[in-house]
Amino acid sequence: MGSGEAARSGAAAAPDGQQGAGGRGRRATTSTYQAGFACFVGRPNAGKSTLTNAIVGQKIAITSNKPQTTRHIIRGVLHRPDGQLVLVDTPGLHRPRTLLGERLNDLVRATWSEVDVIGLCIPADEPVGRGDRFITGELAALKATVLAVVTKTDLVGKEALAKQLLAVSELADFAAVVPVSAIADHQVDTLVDVMAGYLPDSPQLYPDDMFTDEPEHVLIGELIREAALEGVRDELPHSIAVVVEEIQPEARITRIFADLYVERTSQKGIVIGHRGARLKEVGSTARAHIEELLGTRVHLDLHVRVAKDWQRDPKQLRKLGF
Ligand SMILES: Nc1nc2c(ncn2[C@@H]2O[C@H](COP(=O)(O)OP(=O)(O)OP(=O)(O)O)[C@@H](O)[C@H]2O)c(=O)[nH]1
């Protein structure tokens, strides 16, 4: 798979240094600088966002226990003395039912074709299934090196994990199969080492102090959306979009004006809550996270608006940034 390295499998199989010189995705045998792009793919809920966060060590991608909450591509830059691993976060590939679904799939494929290393995430606690086979097939034609990452290993015992590693390694000729638990912080560093080993020789891609190249307003929008979804995911799983209209930095405070879009008037009530209690809570939760992100005090002005059936309307989708 990928650039044709010898296939490796087995727990935490690391790429070795004996695979010849040069070429994309080859491990350098010297102390050269390696940098490149990587992403995690996998079925919804496989643990991609949680793993990305664990690696970058910053709350940049939104996670939830409901599928398909990751919408924007968010990069995290991991700085190492010998290189840079740039993580790109993608939504899950899924059967498109709406225009939003189709756009998301296009976005996913576009990302896949631009990265050097892809980690296919398969949870340790769920059997390898049709979805995993489908994604594996889609990955086969790419130039990237593909690793399998068996996620959530804290949820299973040793024996079940061994079986899962075997089942996963039988799916395809992965460059490596790495078991990992982002939540228990088990093997996360090993995974990074393995991924970094497949990056091409390259000059530094981003300055040392850069952790993400996502525009501030997108990150802020994600933090607001995450806060707004808290507790109402069952009622409105994919019906909330956020547009940050204005960010005004002042001497001691940053003023942020944002609109929260729902699809129907009935949903507006859910988001606002009794006498505005929920919206107030959403505002203070989001504000705390934004203050952390920006390192300043924040005044957050939230408005809830209805954009009828925005998921199906191309004009609305464009306006909402899709
Ligand atoms: N126990 C355990 N749970 C995990 C681990 N990693 C992720 N989870 C949980 O699995 C659920 C899904 O995780 P996400 O990181 O949102 O999954 P995702 O693949 O990004 O999901 P989509 O955005 O839907 O594609 C969340 O409830 C996480 O808390 C892990 O290592 N151990």
Reported as a single tens digit per residue, the pLDDT across 154-184 is 999 999 999 999 999 999 999 999 999 999 9
CA of 262 to the centre of ligand 1 (A): 25
Give the DSSP letter of residue 308. T
The residue whose C-alpha atom lies closest to atom 32 belonging to ligand 1 is 152
Look at residue 102 in the predicted model and tell me its pLDDT: 73
Residue among 41, 50, 151 to mutate when testing ligand 1 (max atoms within 8 A of CB): 50
The residue whose C-alpha atom lies closest to atom 13 belonging to ligand 1 is 47
- Among 40, 91, 89, 322, residue whose Cα is nearest residue 214: 89
Does the pTM exceed 0.80? no
- Flag whether pLDDT at 231 surpasses 80: no
Look at residue 70 in the predicted model and tell me its pLDDT: 40
**Residues comprising the chain, all counted:** 322
Pocket flag, ligand 1, residue 236 (CB < 6 Å):
no
Q: ipTM of this predicted complex?
A: 0.98
CA of 26 to the centre of ligand 1 (A): 30
Residue 91 marked in a binding site: yes
Residue 188 corresponds to which tokens in the numbers above?
A: 């996360």
Alpha-carbon gap, residue 147 to 143, rounded angstroms = 13
Cβ neighbours around 313 below 10 Å, total:
17
Residue 44 marked in a binding site: yes
Look at residue 21 in the predicted model and tell me its pLDDT: 31
Domains of the chain (ranges, CATH numbers): 34-197 (3.40.50.300), 216-319 (3.30.300.20)
Give the model confidence (pLDDT) of 22-75 as tens digits.
333 344 445 689 988 898 988 888 998 889 878 876 544 444 333 444 444 545
